[in-house]
Homo-oligomer: A and B are copies of this chain.
C-alpha cells in the first residue's frame, strides 16, 4: 500500500518539504540547519538524513570484503556482518513502514505485528552480500520515498500506536528508533568485525574499546 486513510491534517509547509528533500540528498551542507532540535529531540529531516545514508555507508564498508570480515560472527548464535545486513533489509520489508501505516490507520486499536529477528537467516539463504546490500538500499529508498509522500506534519508525530511488548509508543518514537536501530547495528557490526582480530592486535587489545564491548543488542 502507499498511503491509506490519513486522519491528521495534510497541510503542507513548503519549508518542511524542502527540508525533507534536502535531508535525502547527501550533498547538502550542514549549515542549512541553523535551528536544529535540542539534544535527543526528534526531528524528521534529521532522522531522514541518517536513514538515507546508512545503505551507502554499509556498502562502502562491506562490499567485496573477504569472508573473514563478512561471514564470521562472535561465536555460537551470534550474527555476522552478512546476517546484520540481511536483518536490516528484512525490517525494511516487514517492520518500520508497516508499523507507521498501522499507527496512521488504526492508532492504538490494533497492536503492531511482532518482528521476526531471525527471518533473515532463511531469507538470505543463497544470496550474496552484494545482493543483500542492493536489497537493503532499494528497500530503504522506496520506504523513504513513501515516507516523504506521506508528508507528515508535526502534529502527526504525537499519534500513538500499540507495541506488542512495550505498550503505547508514538509515531515520532518509531521514526527515531528506525534511525537509532541503524546505529545499533553499525555498533554491532564494528564489534563483530573487530572481534576477528581480537588476538591479532596483541597487547594493543587493552586500548581498543571495541574489544572490551560484550555486546548489548536486543530485539527491536
Contacts and interface: CB of A to CB of B under 8 A. Distances in A.
Interface residues of A, number: 84
Interface in A21-52: 25-30, 33, 36-37, 39-43, 45-46, 49-50
Contact of A203 (B43, B54, B169, B213): B169
B193 A50 contact: yes
Interface in A166-211: 166-167, 169-170, 172-173, 176-177, 179-181, 183-184, 186-191, 193-204, 206-211
A212 interface: yes
B69 A46 contact: yes
B172 A200 contact: yes
A123 interface: no
A159 interface: no
Q: Is the interface of A mostly helix, strand, loop or mixed?
A: helix
A216 B208 CA distance: 8
A216 B121 CA distance: 30
Q: For the complex formed by this chain, how many copies does it contain in all?
A: 2
B194 A208 contact: no
Contact of A220 (B60, B62, B172, B207): B207
Interface string A130-171: 100000000000000000000000000000000100110110
22 contacts: A25-B64, A27-B64, A28-B64, A30-B66, A33-B66, A40-B196, A43-B68, A45-B66, A49-B69, A53-B60, A53-B62, A56-B60, A57-B57, A57-B58, A61-B186, A173-B201, A180-B197, A184-B190, A184-B210, A188-B210, A207-B219, A208-B220
5 closest pairs, A vs B, by CB?
Answer: A209-B217, A173-B202, A209-B216, A176-B200, A57-B61
